[in-house]
Every structure is written in structure tokens, then in C-alpha cells.
Amino acid sequence: MEKTIYVTRPFLPPKQEYDEYVQHIWDEHYLTNNGPLHKEFEQRLREFTGVPNVTLTVNGHMALEIALEGLGIKGEVITTPFTFASTTHALSLCGIKPVFADIREEDLTLDPQQIENKITERTTAIMPVHVYGHLCDVKAIGEIARKYGLKVIYDAAHAFGVTKDGVSAAAFGDVSMFSFHATKLFHTIEGGALCYSDGTYTRIFNAYKNFGIEGEEHVPYVGGNAKMNEFQAAMGLANLPHVPALIEERRAITLRYRDRLQGVKGLRMFEPEAQLGVAYNYAYLPILIDAEAFGASRDDVYFALKRENIFSRRYFWPIVPDFECYRDQYAHESLPVARKAGAQVLCLPIYNGLALEEVDRICGLLRGVSHIG
């Protein structure tokens, strides 16, 4: 049996580069609570994204909750059904009602044309997701938000390193959240960040990630604990300089997949960088399988690969409104594009260090599943 291949595998920097940062931790005896590496990492991210304000967090999910609490979002928020559980759960956990609008076929991001008819007098914000690093229609979403006086919080968990016309994905909306989880192309083991241009948010975001505390005798908010520690910041500092090379390598892997899967009937791939001005990060490798045209279902492919110890993932199926915890409220919702994408999507393995020969093997197996040939 060939070696096991997972959908992803975290990049690790040369150990000595991490060790150098870890040595600072030993020198300073500062382990968490806005330590020196945390401060340095925030600064490096400001430089990398070109966004003037960055607040680091223990993970991406808590960053979403802090953004919602910090901006005082209440009532209803319009969001995408085609995402990881975290996006919707952050809203629910903050006492906000998620309202799902459908996604668009072309890139599976929230469809701006579906947003307006979901707006009620209780709507306070829009929370779109740059799913797989595919940039949402930020212009159209921004226009709707301005027209109705809504905030926009982007879940940019997948979009680190993506730019449009040289502007980072971090720069759109009122706030953008990145996940730095181990499974992301850029990671801090666990971790996350909020990026935003309005510097008045910094005080409140920093308070919310530290029990609502603003000073030894001053606790104006009810907050939890979502601070990034120094070991996470060390990993971020060691990994950040590698990001351009990591994206380049992932691009080569993606091109190989595209080449090897070209012309397969019933199989659709995405080309986000074909959009004018977009530099893509090659974070994920989603394909859509139309069972009839392909001659086998998405699940047939998933299980066939699994039998060969290749673990692709059905990100994002079931779609969030169909989760047990939400379906009583949302099962009746007509979200045809999201439901179809959920039934067809498969994310193939992509990570730094995945050999092109392994890509060839995966593609060969995949082609073999089709009964059409």
C-alpha cells in the first residue's frame, strides 16, 4: 500500500528558525499576554497585509466572536450557508440570528444578488466568506452595506496571501478575520487575527480577548480569553517569510492537477486567478463532480480514494443549515446553489511537499472511477 495522503499537511519551517524565536521566550520568560514576540508578529502582519491594524487571537473562531462582540453586532446577520461550522456558530454563540443567502455558481461565494431580499429591520451586518480563498464580490457587497448602513465582517479564514489589484484580502469590509490553524497555508499551530483600518476598534478588540479588562481597575466589558501565546507567535514569525515560496509551490501543484484533470467530463475546477487583478493563494483544491456527466458520484470518488489511503474531504458538506443543530430552523430554506455545491464538492489533497507524481496518481485514480472513461 502506498503512503497515506491527507487533504493537507502542515508546513513546518526549518527547526532552527523556530528555535531562534523560542530562545527569546527562554530569555524573556514571557509566555503570553501580549509578549514581545506577539508584538513583533502583529507588526510583521501589518507590513505583510498593508492593513494598519491587526489584533492577534488564539484561533480564527474566537477572532470572529470578538469582531461581532466588539462591533456590537445584534439581531440578524446575512451570511453564506456554504462554509465551515465556525462562521455560523460564531453568530449563534453571540446571540445573533444567522440568515442564509445563497452562493453564486461561479466561485461559491455569497451571491450579492441574494443579499438584498434577506434584509429586514433587524439586519445589522453581512458576514461573507472568501471560501477556498476565492474572493467575494467585495465591491457589490460594499455597495449593499453602504446603502443599508450594515457592517461587513469578512471570514477570510482561507484567504491569507490573496490580493486584488495588489490590495490584501485583509483590507475589505469593516474587519477581516484570518485563521492561522495548522491546516492553513500559513499557520501559527492554532491562531487567528482580525485586520481592519479603523484604529478605534483596537482598544475594544484587545479588551474582549482579555476578559474585557482595560486596566487593573477597569473592566468595562464581559469578555473571555482569546489571547495568542508566545509559542504561537514564534511559529508565525518563523513561517511568515516562507509564504511567497509556499504559494508558488502550491501553484505548481494546482497547475499539475488542472493539467491532469483537463477534459474530464462532469468534473469542474476553479481558476480564481483568472479574475482580473487577483493573485490567488492556492489554499484548497476544490472540484465539483456532476454524477451524471462524470459517470460516478462525488462520494464514489471520495470512497475510491479512501480505499487507496488518500483522504480527500467533502468541504463543505452537509451545508450548515442542514446540520442537526440548525435544520429545525433552516431545512425549509431554498438554497439551490449551495445545496448542489455541497453535494458535488470534493477537496483534493494539496500541501507543501506533495509530490507531482502523487498528484498524477490521485488524478489517475480519479479518472478511473468514472464509468464513462
Footprint of ligand T4K on this chain (CB under 6 A)?
Answer: 6-10, 59-61, 83-84, 86-87, 129, 155, 157-158, 179, 181-183, 192, 311, 315
Q: How far is the CB of 334 from ligand T4K (least distance, A)?
A: 23
Of 4 and 117, the one with the shorter C-beta distance to ligand T4K is 4
State the minimum distance, in angstroms, from the CB of residue 121 to ligand T4K.
Answer: 28
SS (H, E, C) the chain: CCCCEECCCCCCCCHHHHHHHHHHHHHHCCCCCCCHHHHHHHHHHHHHHCCCEEEEECCHHHHHHHHHHHCCCCCEEEECCCCCHHHHHHHHHCCCEEEECCECCCCCCECHHHHHHHCCCCEEEEECECHHHCCCCHHHHHHHHHHHCCEEEEECCCCCCCEECCEEHHHCCCEEEEECCCCCCCCCCCCEEEEECCCCHHHHHHHHCECCCCECCECCCCCCECCCCHHHHHHHHHHHHHHHHHHHHHHHHHHHHHHHHCCCCCEEECCHHHCCCEECCCCCCEEEECHHHHCCCHHHHHHHHHHCCEECECCCCCCHHHCCCCHHHHCCCCCHHHHHHHHHEEECCCCCCCCHHHHHHHHHHHHHHCCCC
Nearer to ligand T4K, 138 or 296 (CB): 138
Q: Which is nearer to ligand T4K, 87 or 124 (CB)?
A: 87
Closest distance between ligand T4K and the C-beta of residue 329, in Å?
Answer: 20
User: Whole-number minimum distance, CB 354 to ligand T4K, in Å?
Assistant: 12
| In the complex, least distance from residue 369 CB atom to ligand T4K, rounded to whole angstroms | 21
Q: How far is the CB of 4 from ligand T4K (least distance, A)?
A: 9
298 in Cβ contact with 346 (< 8 Å) = yes
Q: How far is CA 108 from the centre of its chain?
A: 13
CB-nearer residue toward ligand T4K: 89 or 151? 89
- Cα 52 vs. chain centroid, distance in angstroms? 21
Q: Which is nearer to ligand T4K, 129 or 261 (CB)?
A: 129
The Cα 372–Cα 296 span in angstroms is: 8
Residue closer to ligand T4K by CB (options 87, 176) is 87
83 versus 281: smaller Cβ distance to ligand T4K: 83
Alpha carbon 38 to its chain centroid, in Å, reads 22
Cα dist from 115 to 143, 173, 222, whole Å: 11, 15, 32
Q: How near is the Cβ of 316 to ligand T4K at its closest, in Å?
A: 8
Residue least distant from ligand T4K (Cβ): 60
Q: Which is nearer to ligand T4K, 130 or 370 (CB)?
A: 130
Least distance in angstroms from the C-beta of 210 to ligand T4K: 18
Q: Nearest distance from residue 323's CB to ligand T4K, in Å?
A: 14
The residue (of 178 and 294) whose beta carbon lies closer to ligand T4K is 178
Of 308, 287, 189, 165, the closest CA to residue 237 belongs to: 189
Q: Smaller CB distance to ligand T4K: residue 284 or 294?
A: 284
Task: Classify the C-alpha dihedral 104-106-109-115 as positive or negative.
Answer: negative
Shortest spacing between CB 88 and ligand T4K, in angstroms: 9
